[in-house]
């Protein structure tokens, strides 16, 4: 048994303006980094509307469909764009995450990685933002809870930016424990430790600019102790690699060994709870660092699957 990889060529059809950090080349860099690994490679399907509508209202999805440009780009906010291929890519990112949930809960694997773009953890209920159109990991969490009938899911986010969208979509969900480490201050300005959710099920661990890997690992030790207390039946990871020291959008000082160590600690916690792990690509904007970090992350998922 090995790690399942979900991806689709539509990830390269989501276009952004020249010079934009969330560029088409990110997908190619990730796939190149995973070349040669013995992964169970599967096509990411389109998400069903039923899954999307657990997190976003029908009017929001209808606006994304109606607003899809025939050519060029539609600016949704100063950072976020919709091109002719963007909605399919976002729907396949969410659909890949849901398919990964289905697969690991069926016992086909104990770990899975969804290598898609655009990312998703900034998309709020009715607001695309921060490069994101749909709340990928929240949609996957709600599928696990509402379709599969799980009682407890943990969503863990180590992207350098706070997952405000995931927090918004899971704020009132007592069955979902959400935890995020992130640089503060930094976009989007949310993620204070005082933000704990409607049921005390949200944990934010802000890190000061310049925080290195030792501080990151210590923070995640505390996060995972609380996650384990939640006794999750499934763990979903927002895997952003923009906390890397080489990343241009932030000022944390992690490296690929730190991502591997944190991934290993997440997998150990999940195994102790008997929970499979689904990981979804979020940020990471220095292409060489992104490639190295993704490979380290996925190799650690593969080791946990053995």
What is Dmax (Cα atoms) for the chain?
A: 49
Query: What is each CA distance from 138 to 13, 34, 112, 154, 243, in whole angstroms?
Result: 23, 25, 16, 10, 21
Q: Are residues 166 and 138 in contact, defined by beta-carbon separation less than 8 angstroms?
A: yes
Q: Where do we find the tokens 């952004």?
A: 16
Residue among 29, 108, 85, 95 nearest 283 (CA):
29
Query: What dihedral angle (degrees, nearest 10) is formed by the CA atoms of 305, 6, 163, 126?
Result: -150
Q: How many whole angstroms separate alpha carbon 301 and alpha carbon 33?
A: 15
Q: Which of the residues are catalytic?
A: 122
**Would you call 298 helix, strand, or coil by DSSP?**
helix
């Amino acid at each position: 048994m090995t790690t399942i990889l979900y991806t689709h060529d539509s990830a390269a059809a989501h276009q952004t303006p020249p010079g934009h950090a969330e560029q088409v080349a990110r997908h190619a860099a990730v796939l190149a980094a995973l070349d040669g690994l013995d992964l169970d490679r599967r096509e990411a399907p389109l998400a069903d509307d039923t899954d999307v509508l657990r997190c976003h209202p029908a009017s929001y999805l209808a606006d994304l469909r109606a607003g899809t440009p025939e050519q060029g780009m539609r600016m949704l906010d100063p950072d976020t764009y919709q091109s002719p291929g963007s909605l399919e890519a976002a729907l396949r990112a969410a659909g890949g995450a849901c398919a990964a949930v289905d697969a690991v809960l069926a016992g086909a694997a104990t770990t899975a990685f969804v290598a898609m773009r655009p990312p998703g953890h900034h998309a709020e209920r009715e607001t695309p933002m921060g490069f994101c159109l749909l709340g990928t990991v929240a949609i996957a969490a709600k599928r696990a809870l509402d379709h599969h009938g799980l009682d407890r899911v943990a969503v863990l986010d180590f992207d350098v930016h706070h997952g405000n969208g995931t927090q918004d979509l899971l704020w009132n969900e007592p069955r979902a424990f959400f935890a995020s480490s992130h640089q503060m201050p930094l976009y989007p300005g949310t993620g204070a430790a005082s933000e704990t959710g409607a049921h005390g099920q949200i944990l934010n661990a802000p890190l000061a600019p310049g925080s290195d890997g030792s501080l990151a690992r210590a923070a995640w030790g505390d996060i995972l102790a609380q996650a384990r207390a939640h006794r999750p039946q499934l763990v979903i990871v927002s895997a952003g690699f923009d906390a890397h020291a080489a990343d241009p959008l932030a000022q944390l000082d992690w490296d690929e060994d730190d991502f591997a160590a944190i991934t290993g600690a997440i997998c150990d916690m999940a195994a102790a709870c008997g929970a499979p792990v689904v990981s979804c690509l979020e940020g990471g904007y220095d292409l060489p660092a992104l490639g190295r970090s993704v490979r380290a992350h996925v190799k650690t998922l593969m080791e946990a699957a053995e």
